[in-house]
Structure 1
């Protein structure tokens, strides 16, 4: 199952490589997210040529030990599809089901029908099912849409639906600040150090239940997510906080398939809050320090992209691409800073 190398016109490599990547399960041992199809898109948008995309497929397969999609276990239908949520062994069955739904309804109608029912499990595979759906939406790829829905269903993880309480803050930082209070969050024990195991263990604490309802979603909430996630990642370079920065980009990518955008926004921030103990209760950087980082001389995006596409680390590539896309919206040089720092350019 070597990487895709077939005759074709220039530009075919991305579609061919993504098609090749679809033979592999959405996770590889031990329950880690397969980023390959999303990273291929990011690399191509950052200027990687066809040869580099094809080479990266094989590098990624070998480095991570990609495994095939699980064998079928039984039929999944519109009547029983919710009975197997969170069962990773049913990924193949869910793929078959959602492929049929996409074929019957179309990709976007299928996503808009099923995503509201999957959003409760937003933490699926540490939010990487969300990532796959974001890229599937952005590229309008039917097969990737079906695979993303199947991935979300098979790894579904609900961090709690809340208590129906009134929101207590419109500031995302206020939600994160709550996590610093209860002593139980200082004593999280997991069977292994996977992100989603940490998220699940935190959500099991009774003190976590109010988090779902805390944030009042308003017209500036996305901007607040973006500013806070960027500042925290700039301060820490933390792996978990990288997903806060990239996640704000994914929310925008997925927006056309989110009937009520407030629902995934609330679930996203709940998931980020659940990672605060894993991150180590980071200090919030002072505004003066953030401004100092902004004033640093950093490379422009063409130089950053040229370096990024030489890297084989999926998080280097994901972070750089999402930072560049968020920069287009906010024009904040701190995005250049965090990408250049991640890549070792400064």
Structure 2
């Protein structure tokens, strides 16, 4: 049933644009996939009903993008309609894995695109395709790649960091915080260039062993850290976890040679979002959440709480947290997801 519902939902959303009200990302395809992945197929169409009115139609194109001249319009949001048309053709002309393998290394340096929603949308699409290949899912991958290309945004280059490679949480805590956190993500990320410690922090990719294991460690560390530092901006800081989670979900569909740059980009995204949105001090109230450790939270109840809230960020963060919990068994991951849902509150 879930597979049929996902395709129905994606077909229903296919003519909606990647953004609305300016910069706000269309979360419907991502949240829909997360709902079904976690056993909530019955809630999908009702959730879309409540979200659909805010969405806009697919933007119109300006001028077709050719396969030979893709660099110039990269990162030009006014060409979103052209990118959607371009990747619709790409997705129809070659197997989806070939399209992904060709465009992943081109788009990866711009992982900050759309507050990292470009890579996140691609990650959800790939996870769905790895479960079952259908025309609706192939089309959704094309739309995710198009959104990423239209909002392509590179981060300040990383250097080589001195922080312990075995501890992702220590590495995240060592990331410097941008000083001016009054405006949006583009303003915040632009300040990374003026932080002397940023190149080393971003280059200190933590963990040891295979890239997939290191990405799992980064995702888990970002989820745990949200418990104490997410109170300042609980919505935006979730991307410190969901962006590398999207890279992790995509790795099985990529050629092995792309694993190392994918790991580096996933870490850079987690570090950049942490620099931009972490609160200045740990939240003392988080201690009361940790006291709940006496009764281990249930993963289904954790995700159910996010579903009841209706908020797409709560849903996607709980999805990443439960996914990480299934590997590590760490109950703090579930507590962090529950706490984030409570911080965000009901969707408006």
Q: Normalized against structure 2, the TM-score is what?
A: 0.82
- The question of 1:32 aligning with 2:24 is answered yes
Instruction: Call closer, same or farther: CA 1:293–1:107 in 2, change over 3 Å.
Output: farther
Query: Shift in Å at residue 175 of structure 1?
Result: 4.7
Aligned to 2:346: none
Cα offsets for 1:41-84 (capped at 9, x unmatched): 1112333244x32121121123xx21112111001011111111
Aligned to 1:256: 252
1:125, 1:156 within 8 Å by CA — same for their partners in 2?
yes
Cα distance in 2, alignment partners of residues 21 and 318 from structure 1: 18
Aligned to 1:70: 59
Structure 2 residue aligned with 1:146, among 136, 142, 148?
142
Instruction: Call closer, same or farther: CA 1:321–1:143 in 2, change over 3 Å.
Output: same
Cα distance in 2, alignment partners of residues 255 and 205 from structure 1: 32
Instruction: Call closer, same or farther: CA 1:337–1:175 in 2, change over 3 Å.
Output: closer
Query: Shift in Å at residue 17 of structure 1?
Result: 1.3
- The question of 1:168 aligning with 2:162 is answered yes
1:98, 1:150 within 8 Å by CA — same for their partners in 2?
yes
Could you tell me which runs of 5 or more consecutive residues in structure 2 were left unpaired when the two chains were aligned.
130-136, 344-348
2:160, 2:200 within 8 Å by CA — same for their partners in 1?
no
Cα distance in 1, alignment partners of residues 276 and 316 from structure 2: 23
The farther-off stretch of 15-24 and 261-270 is 261-270
Aligned to 2:81: 92
Three-state SS of the structure 1 residue aligned to 2:270 is: helix
Query: Shift in Å at residue 333 of structure 1?
Result: 1.1
2:15, 2:57 within 8 Å by CA — same for their partners in 1?
yes
Cα distance in 1, alignment partners of residues 230 and 279 from structure 2: 12
1:160, 1:203 within 8 Å by CA — same for their partners in 2?
yes
Q: How does 1:115-264 map to 2 (within 5 A)?
A: 115-140=104-129, 141-162=137-158, 165-169=159-163, 170=165, 171-173=167-169, 175-180=171-176, 187-188=179-180, 193-199=183-189, 201-205=190-194, 207=196, 208-215=198-205, 218-219=208-209, 221-238=214-231, 239=234, 240-259=236-255, 260-264=258-262
Cα offsets for 1:139-161 (capped at 9, x unmatched): 11211111111111100000133
Aligned to 2:307: 309
- The question of 1:18 aligning with 2:16 is answered no
Q: Which has more radius of gyration?
A: 1
Could you tell me which runs of 5 or more consecutive residues in structure 1 were left unpaired when the two chains were aligned.
1-8
Cα offsets for 1:130-184 (capped at 9, x unmatched): 111101111112111111111111000001334xx5453425456545543xxxx
Query: Shift in Å at residue 88 of structure 1?
Result: 1.0
Query: Shift in Å at residue 250 of structure 1?
Result: 1.9
Pairwise CA RMSD: 2.9
Instruction: Call closer, same or farther: CA 1:258–1:189 in 2, change over 3 Å.
Output: same
The farther-off stretch of 151-160 and 231-240 is 231-240
Aligned to 2:133: none
The farther-off stretch of 293-302 and 123-132 is 293-302
- The question of 1:273 aligning with 2:271 is answered yes
Three-state SS of the structure 1 residue aligned to 2:66 is: coil
Aligned to 1:296: 294
Cα offsets for 1:2-23 (capped at 9, x unmatched): xxxxxxx886332111111121
